[in-house]
């Protein structure tokens, strides 16, 4: 189904999306952008998928935009350049809004769009050797499409320091900046990702989806709007099957179906 990805789902409902352009350090081109967007949409619709793990083949997580692809776009018309940029924005939006928890397994270099991808994930675990950079300005470009996700994660002040210089920073620095949640020794990366996945598998899938949408809403609305919105969402949750089952299971000291 995918030209530039490996997508596998195990019996637990954990879908692993692996960027598979190791010869190009998993850099983003038109095919990879299309495949990633489709994969997030497909996983979002698949009721068997409960958690998504995003990673890269080889030594890189994602090295940003493919320069050969960018050069081809530079030789195109203005409308084609806008479409190329919009493809990046649409892919990031699909990654950010998929109704399943996404764990980014940062196994190596994450530059430009790779940082943007990490910033769309719900949990980010990085190998100690991984390196990061908002490198666009060093190529005469700007971190446009990834900007909303990067600034949301690290704040405007830190974004200015790193996006205006393009300097590289370590996985430990990325953790301090809020891009990464956990840094582990390279050989412990898979175990750390599995621990993160296990916590999401403890939760009801429908409740996760509603909560993810709720967080996005309350982060961008006024207190008054949030009062009305959250009152409705809790009432909705009480009416769901998982809400009823969860309360009944807790009171009856039984195991709910999503943990069985």
pLDDT tens for the chain, 260 residues: list them.
899 999 999 999 999 999 999 999 999 999 999 999 999 999 999 999 999 999 999 999 999 999 999 999 888 899 999 999 999 999 999 999 999 999 999 999 999 999 999 999 999 999 999 999 999 999 999 999 999 999 999 999 999 999 999 999 999 999 999 999 999 999 999 999 999 999 999 999 999 999 999 999 999 999 999 999 999 999 999 999 999 999 999 999 999 999 97
Catalytic residue from among 3, 8, 23, 136: 136
Cα separation, 69 vs 73, in Å, equals 6
Angle between helices 241-252 and 223-239 (to 10 degrees): 70
Cα dihedral 230, 233, 239, 241, rounded to 10, equals -130
- CATH T-level assignment (fold) for domain 205-259: Lyase 2-enoyl-coa Hydratase; Chain  A, domain 2 (1.10.12)
The tokens for 64 are 């940003």
Q: What is the DSSP string of 236-250?
A: HHHHSHHHHHHHHHH
- Find out if CATH 3.90.226.10 is the number for domain 5-201: yes
Known catalytic residue: 136?
A: yes
Query: Looking at residue 179, what DSSP letter applies?
Result: S
Q: What is the DSSP string of 217-231?
A: HHTTS-HHHHHHHHH
Tell how many helices (H) and how many strands (E) occur in the chain: 11, 10
Cα separation, 98 vs 34, in Å, equals 15
Helix (H) or strand (E) holding 136: none
Q: Where are the domains of the chain?
A: 5-201, 205-259
């Amino acid at each position: 189904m995918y030209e530039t990805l490996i997508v596998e789902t195990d019996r637990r409902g954990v879908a692993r999306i692996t960027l598979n352009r190791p010869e190009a350090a998993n850099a983003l081109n038109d095919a990879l952008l299309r495949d990633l967007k489709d994969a997030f949409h497909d996983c979002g619709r698949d009721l068997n998928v409960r958690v998504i793990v995003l990673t890269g083949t080889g030594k890189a997580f994602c090295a940003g935009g493919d320069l050969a692809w960018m050069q081809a776009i530079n030789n195109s018309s203005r409308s084609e350049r806008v479409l190329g940029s919009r493809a990046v924005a649409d892919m990031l939006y699909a990654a950010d809004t998929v109704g399943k928890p996404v764990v980014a397994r940062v196994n190596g270099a994450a530059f430009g769009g790779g940082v943007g991808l990490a910033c769309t994930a719900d949990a980010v675990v990085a190998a100690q050797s991984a390196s990061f950079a908002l490198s666009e300005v060093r190529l005469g470009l700007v971190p446009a499409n990834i900007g909303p996700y990067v600034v949301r994660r690290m704040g405007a002040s830190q974004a200015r320091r790193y996006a205006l210089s393009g300097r590289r920073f370590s996985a430990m620095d990325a953790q301090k900046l809020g891009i990464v949640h956990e840094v582990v020794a390279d050989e412990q990366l898979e175990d750390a990702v599995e621990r993160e996945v296990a916590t999401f598998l403890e939760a009801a899938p429908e409740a996760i989806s509603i909560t993810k949408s709720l967080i996005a809403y309350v982060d961008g609305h006024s207190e008054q709007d949030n009062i009305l919105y959250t009152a409705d969402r809790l009432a909705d949750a009480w009416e769901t099957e998982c809400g009823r089952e969860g309360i009944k299971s807790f009171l009856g000291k039984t195991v709910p179906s999503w943990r069985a």
